[in-house]
Amino acid sequence: MIVVVAPGQGSQTPGFLSPWLEQPASRELLQTLSTAADLDLIEHGTVSDADTIRDTAIAQPLIVAAGILTLSALLDGASTTPAGIAGHSVGEITAASGAGILTPTDAMTLVAARGRAMAEAAALVDTGMSAVIGGDIAITEARLAELGLFPANYNGGGQLVVAGAKDALATLAAEPPAGTRVIPLQVAGAFHTSYMQSAVEKVREVASTLAPADPTLTIWTNSDGTQVTSGRAYLDLLVGQVSSPVRWDSTMESFSAAGVTGIIELAPAGALVGLAKRGLKGVPTVGIKTPADLDAARAMLEGAAA
């Protein structure tokens, strides 16, 4: 059972889409997605610098477009399809498109609104995020409560991303829980916490104008890692996820329970295959960074089918 996973914000790097645009079909698709997002994703994926593409309002549509583009390229040359799909954070919108819940253009309309709304919410208070590596989760959670910080991403594999006021994050880094390392992240706000509540309402307003279909692939939610069979229910969970923790640990546990035998990460790949290597030891992975990685991904799909 092969599943495709779609990464979240922070996985983008300057110029990462350049190799894809050598293919006319990919360039044409990216132009269509740019129109839907009202952003020049070709420029941002090829020549924009790191500071520009770190902007939440640009980063989120860029990442989702990259995932849609690479999934399209993967399936175009494959003789079989994956058994399931899931996305991490904004990658859930990529997954919604891949599972047929949203059309690619509707996915881009939604992610553009999400990116803008979360950027606006982040500008209201000076907040940030840090990764906490290692240690005991319960002890870390207790320390977060003392400092008024929030767990934002339960990533599994010994990694928890936390969010809140920057002074509290600085205190956490200076006095970390036993056995942990605290690494500040280059993001603009406290995503997946109550600081994002104003963004939830704006995203819900746009989502209410869309007409989701029920998924054609097995799809798991970041809410609690369970499978979702209703397109509308998935879209509702996706909206609420803006201010709720990402439970990628639960998603990986569900992969294990379902008997997943391989994981393919869409571009910009790297983060989720890294988590899988720690949280799903022994499960083969392929990260699609450039078109050169497509053959290995297709081989994994076809090997599972055989």
Task: Identify the CA nearest to 49 among candidates 21, 22, 12, 20.
Answer: 12
Closest CA to 132 of 115, 150, 119, 107: 150
Tokens 């924009």 correspond to what residue?
48
Q: Single out the catalytic residue among 192, 223, 243, 244.
A: 192
Give the C-alpha separation, 147 to 143, whole Å: 6
Say whether 192 is catalytic.
yes
Q: Which residue has the tokens 């990260």?
A: 287
How far apart, in Å, are the Cα atoms of 2 and each of 93, 199, 274, 283?
A: 19, 34, 17, 10
Query: Taking a C-beta distance cutoff of 8 angstroms, is the pair 125, 247 a contact?
Result: no
Contacts of 186 (CB under 8 A, 6+ apart): 10, 54
Select which of 89, 97, 130, 223 is catalytic: 89
- Of 13, 15, 21, 1, nearest in space to 70 by CA: 21
Which residue(s) pair with 162 in the sheet?
Answer: 130, 151
- Structure tokens, 188: 């603009």
- Is 89 a known active-site residue? yes
Identify whether the C-beta of residue 19 lies closer than 8 Å to the C-beta of residue 291: yes
Whose CA is closest to 225, among 209, 208, 211, 244?
A: 244
CB 12 within 8 A of CB 62: yes
Which of 89, 90, 97 lies closest to 112 in space, CA to CA? 90
How wide is the angle at C-alpha 262 spanned by C-alphas 259 and 266, nearest 5°? Answer: 130
The count of residues in the chain is: 306
Enumerate the active-site residues. Answer: 89, 192
